[in-house]
């Protein structure tokens, strides 16, 4: 099998809000669909990608499964399709739940197969036909998460924490008190009970301290219990909560993933984030006996070109999950090989001499003066294999985790941009164990720079730090060397090569 990296889809694909589900012998990922270079979220139509559960490197494009114009209320395509979810109903058909941006309604489309062409089915409504979200005072419908339980009962979760202008939701004064649950009838669209508040937002009684609900409802049943995944008040982490009933009450279960590896080892300072921050959204999935958390990262100095990533989850003795660490090898079966060519776009850690920032806290022009960022040449869906890290200035660092090192004796860098200096490569996060040091000088076109490389055997990260003037574009690196017998070391994504978190320099 091929290796698989983060992001796990092609470099030109931007599918955030990924909800993974195993149907039959394949895992399907449903998400919204960003357009590279767009000034807003989710401009493109829904697409689906799938892979055999036996080979998570073999992702197949299933095509467009639902156009935004397929909804009769959006014939002009003005509204954008936000984060969806899919469930297999009691009748064996597949139901796609979605919301148009801030319209304040949840709609449903249906298909006979997981990734066929979905057709509009209806809007979630009360028994009298009144559509949820069309009456003032109702909870704002947003980010649907849906579960068909073992007994065939269907539960819909939704919620948003930010006040939405009345004009965005059809001039209705809707409330935003937190995450809610509804039970649906067997027709998958009529409300049987609810909406009932489950997850109060920050500042309200019952909110989870320091990790209150914000958005991104997702629900799974695990070992007979219900695990709710959501984006917290911090917006850059996915947390979970547990209950014995789909209607709660739920207790906080911890952070599952954070875009900057915050909350790992007690680090809660955003200035110490190991990657650039922005919103994230995703869900959990068990594939071949292994649990994964799916999420998305930010690119292009914005929150409007987000890409699908995933990490392995490790269970805790009480049946919960430990927080996963950001890696470059998320869905791969263990660490990456210590020989071969790797594109810089799979870096899981990235920061400047000034540290990191939130992409939603400043304009692109300001960020690009200081910070490195992932980007591509060409327009949306035109750049397979052409994504790279731009704007590597003095002190910028790109980190990759993890590799099984010990065989390589030579390193080649592929660089563009205009800059000169030295790139030092380290095999530890503290950047004390130097494996290579290459003099580099780029004047525009992509150049190749080769030097010796040495790393002791073992599973280790690679951190590349530029020291010099100008700005480099980091395209790729290649590890070469004679092969020799090595004894494989055990691998856990939560443990190797990780020392105490330190302020980046």
3-state SS, residue 346: helix
For residue range 299-315, what is the model confidence (pLDDT) as tens digits? Answer: 999 999 999 999 999 99
- Per residue in 261-288, pLDDT (tens digit) is 999 988 888 888 999 999 999 999 999 9
- Please say whether the beta carbons of 357 and 276 come within 8 A: yes
Strands, sheet with 191-200, edge to edge from the N-terminal-most edge strand: 145-148, 154-158, 178-184, 191-200
Residue 8 domain-assigned?
no
Domain total for the chain?
Answer: 2
Q: List the catalytic residues.
A: 17, 215
Residue-level pLDDT at 384: 77
- Tens digits of per-residue pLDDT, 335-358? 999 999 999 999 999 999 999 999
161: left (phi over 0), alpha (psi -120 to 50) or beta: alpha
Percent of the chain with pLDDT over 70: 93
**pLDDT above 60 for 498:** no
Stretch 474-488: mean pLDDT, rounded? 75
CB atoms within 10 A of CB 348: 24
From 353, 82, 321, select the one nearest 215 (Cα to Cα). 82
Could you tell me if 224 and 362 lie in one domain? no
Residue 485 pLDDT level (bands cut at 50, 70, 90)? very low
pLDDT above 50 for 221: yes
Helix (H) or strand (E) holding 472: strand 458-480
In the numeric block, the tokens 């294999």 are attached to: 385
Read off the pLDDT of each residue in 386-415 and give the average, rounded to a whole number: 97
Residue 127 lies in a domain: yes
- Do 303 and 382 fall within a single domain? no
Q: Say if residue 489's pLDDT is above 60.
A: no
Q: For residues 26 and 103, state if they share a domain.
A: yes
Structure tokens, 124: 């979630």
Which of the residue ranges 93-102, 187-196, 230-239, 440-449 would you say has the lowest mean pLDDT?
Answer: 440-449
pLDDT of residue 486: 45
pLDDT of residue 499: 35
Say yes or no to pLDDT of 496 above 70: no
296 lies in the same domain as 387: no
Confidence of residue 429 (pLDDT cuts 50, 70, 90): very high
What domain range is 44 assigned to? 19-312
Counting beta carbons within 10 angstroms of the beta carbon of residue 505, is it exposed (0 to 12), middle (13 to 18) or buried (19 or more)? Answer: exposed
pTM attached to this predicted model: 0.94
Query: Which residue spans within 168-250 are E strands per DSSP?
Result: 178-184, 191-200, 213-222, 225-232, 237-243
d(CA 274, CA 280): 15
> Which residue has tokens 């066929």?
116
User: Collapsing DSSP states into helix, strand and coil, what is residue 108?
Assistant: strand
186, 60: one domain: yes
pLDDT of the residue at 470 = 97
Tell me: do 273 and 358 sit in the same domain. Answer: no
Measured between alpha carbons, how far is 329 from 322 in angstroms, rounded to an integer?
18
Residue 61 lies in a domain: yes
Q: Please provide the distance, in angstroms rounded to a whole number, between the alpha carbons at the two ends of the chain.
A: 38
pLDDT given at position 266? 84
Using 50, 70 and 90 to split pLDDT, how confident is the model at 365? confident
> Which residue matches tokens 């139509």?
45
Give Cα separations from 45 to 41, 64, 106, 280, 281 (angstroms). 12, 7, 17, 19, 18
The answer to whether residue 190 sits within a structural domain is yes
Q: What is the pLDDT of residue 500?
A: 33
Q: Provide the token pair at 131.
A: 């559509």
Task: Check whether residue 282 and residue 382 sit in a common domain.
Answer: no
Do 270 and 188 belong together in one domain?
Answer: yes
The band of 502, judged by pLDDT with boundaries at 50, 70 and 90, is very low
DSSP state of 14: -
Helices vs. strands in the chain: H and E counts, helices first: 1, 28
Residue 483 has pLDDT above 60, yes or no: no
CATH number of 420's domain = 2.60.120.260
16 contacts 306 by C-beta, under 8 angstroms: yes
Mean pLDDT of the chain: 93
Taking the C-alpha atoms of residue 144 and residue 467, their distance in angstroms, rounded to an integer, is: 46
Kindly give the pairing relationship between strand 336-337 and strand 397-405: parallel
Nearest by Cα to 401 from 465, 325, 470, 477:
325
Are 96 and 221 within one domain? yes
- Highest mean pLDDT pick, 14-23, 383-392, 477-486: 14-23
Cβ atoms of 166 and 106 closer than 8 Å? no
What pLDDT score does 166 carry?
64
Task: State the pLDDT at residue 168.
Answer: 65
Is residue 78 over pLDDT 70?
A: yes
Taking alpha carbons only, the member of 57, 10, 48, 53 closest to residue 30 is: 48
Please tell me whether residues 305 and 451 are part of one structural domain: no
Task: With respect to residue 305, please indicate whether it lies within any of the assigned structural domains.
Answer: yes
Is there a domain that residue 13 lies in? no
Q: What percent of the chain has pLDDT over 90?
A: 87
Verify that 276 and 391 share a domain, yes or no.
no
Q: What share of the chain is helix, strand, coil (3-state, %, to 5)?
A: 5, 45, 50
Alpha-carbon 211 to chain mean position: 18
Structure confidence at residue 503 (pLDDT)? 32
Query: Residue 273 domain-assigned?
Result: yes
Helices (H), 337-398: 364-368
| Rounded to 5°, angle at Cα 163 from 171 and 306 | 105
CB neighbours of 379 closer than 8 A, spacing ≥ 6?
Answer: 36, 37
Bridge pairing between strands 26-30 and 46-52: antiparallel
Is 397 in contact with 472 (CB distance < 8 Å)?
no
CA 55 – CA 103 distance, rounded (Å): 39
Clarify whether residues 302 and 363 are in a common domain.
no
pLDDT digits (tens, 9 = 90+) for 108-135: 999 999 999 999 999 999 999 999 999 9
Domain harbouring 182, CATH code: 2.115.10.20
218: in domain? yes
Question: What is the arithmetic mean of pLDDT over 84-88?
Answer: 98
């Amino acid at each position: 099998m091929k290796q698989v990296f983060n992001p796990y889809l092609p470099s030109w694909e931007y599918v955030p809000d990924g909800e993974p589900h195993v149907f039959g012998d394949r895992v399907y990922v449903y998400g919204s669909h960003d357009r590279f270079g767009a000034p807003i979220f989710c401009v493109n139509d829904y697409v689906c990608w799938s892979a055999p559960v036996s080979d998570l490197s073999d992702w197949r494009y299933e095509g467009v499964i639902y156009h935004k114009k397929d909804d009769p209320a959006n014939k002009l395509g003005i509204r954008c399709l936000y984060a969806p979810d899919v469930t297999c109903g009691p009748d064996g058909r597949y139901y796609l739940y979605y919301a148009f941006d801030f319209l304040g309604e949840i709609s449903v489309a249906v298909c006979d197969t997981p990734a066929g062409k979905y057709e509009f089915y209806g809007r979630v409504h009360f028994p009298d036909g009144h559509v949820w979200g069309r009456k003032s005072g109702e909870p704002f419908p947003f980010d649907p998460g849906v579960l068909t339980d073992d007994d065939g009962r269907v539960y819909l979760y939704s919620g948003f924490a930010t006040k939405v202008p009345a004009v965005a939701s059809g001039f209705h004064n809707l409330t935003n008190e937190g995450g809610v649950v509804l039970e649906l009838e067997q027709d998958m669209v009529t409300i049987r009970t609810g909406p009932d508040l489950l997850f109060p937002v920050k500042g309200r009684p019952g909110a989870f301290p320091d990790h209150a609900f914000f958005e991104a409802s997702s629900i799974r049943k695990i070992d007979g219990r219900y695990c709710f995944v959501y984006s917290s008040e911090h917006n850059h982490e996915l947390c979970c909560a547990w209950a014995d009933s789909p209607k709660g009450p739920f207790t906080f279960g911890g952070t599952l993933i954070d875009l900057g590896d915050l909350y790992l080892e007690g680090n809660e300072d955003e200035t110490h984030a190991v990657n650039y921050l922005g919103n994230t959204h995703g869900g959990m999935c068990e594939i071949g006996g292994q649990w994964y958390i799916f999420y998305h990262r930010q690119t292009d100095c914005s929150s409007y070109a987000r890409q699908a990533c995933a990490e392995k989850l490790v269970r805790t003795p009480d049946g919960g999950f430990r927080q996963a660490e950001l890696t470059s090898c998320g869905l791969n079966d263990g660490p990456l090989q210590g020989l071969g060519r790797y594109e810089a776009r799979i870096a899981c850690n990235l920061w400047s001499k000034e540290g990191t920032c939130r992409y939603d806290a400043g304009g692109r022009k300001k960020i690009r003066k200081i910070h490195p960022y992932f980007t591509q040449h060409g327009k949306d869906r035109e750049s397979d294999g052409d994504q790279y890290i731009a704007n590597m200035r003095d002190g910028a660092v790109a980190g990759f985790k993890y590799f099984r090192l010990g065989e390589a004796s030579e390193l080649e860098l592929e660089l563009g941009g205009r800059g000169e200096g030295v790139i030092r490569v380290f095999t530890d996060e503290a950047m004390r164990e130097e494996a290579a040091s290459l003099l580099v000088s780029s004047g525009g076109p992509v150049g190749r720079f080769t030097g010796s490389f040495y790393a002791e055997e073992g599973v280790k990260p690679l951190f590349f730090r530029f020291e010099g003037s100008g700005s480099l574009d980091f395209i790729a690196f290649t590890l070469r060397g004679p092969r020799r017998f090595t004894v494989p070391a055990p691998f856990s994504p939560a443990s190797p090569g990780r020392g105490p978190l330190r302020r980046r320099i």
